[in-house]
Amino acid sequence: MLRTALDSVLAALSGTLTHLDGVIDQPGREPFDASWTTAEGDTLNAGLADVAEARATARQVIRAAPRRRAARPAIEGLERQATQITVLTGAVLNLARTTTAAVRSGEDLPEGLHAAIGDLAEGLSALASHDTAAASRAEAILTASHPELDFGHRELAQ
């Protein structure tokens, strides 16, 4: 249940970034209304609420069902992933807000932003679908094009 909720949020994040990538790809054209980022925030926050509920259920099952206690390390790993995904969701929403505002006002976007957003969307999609080969390719692309990023944690790919 928790894994499913996490995968759902990862897929939604990928969708948000894919749409944002399209906005950047076609500057001057506004393919969304001004409430797009608010609607995306609502969708992503609803997904995080599902994650919170699944986390609580998982904790309760581990405490109440002695046979499930062996799953504790796996649940703890998913708990760490949930925390990371919550932080990532905030970052993606901030990126969406600032990027769409910059596109609307005609500002120049940082070089490489378009490619980085596309690569991140692809990587999140691969993680959501458990395509480890695609996730490794996306990580390699991001590492090569953005050496300042730290990909030392591999917990999300597990």
What pLDDT shows up at residue 115?
A: 85
Averaged over successive runs of 10 residues, the pLDDT of the chain (158 residues) comes to: 89 93 71 77 94 89 76 82 91 91 83 86 85 72 64 46
What pLDDT shows up at residue 53?
A: 93
**pTM check: above 0.75:** yes
What pLDDT shows up at residue 23?
A: 79
What pLDDT shows up at residue 33?
A: 63
Largest CA distance in the chain: 59
Helix, strand and coil percent figures for the chain, each rounded to 5: 80, 0, 20
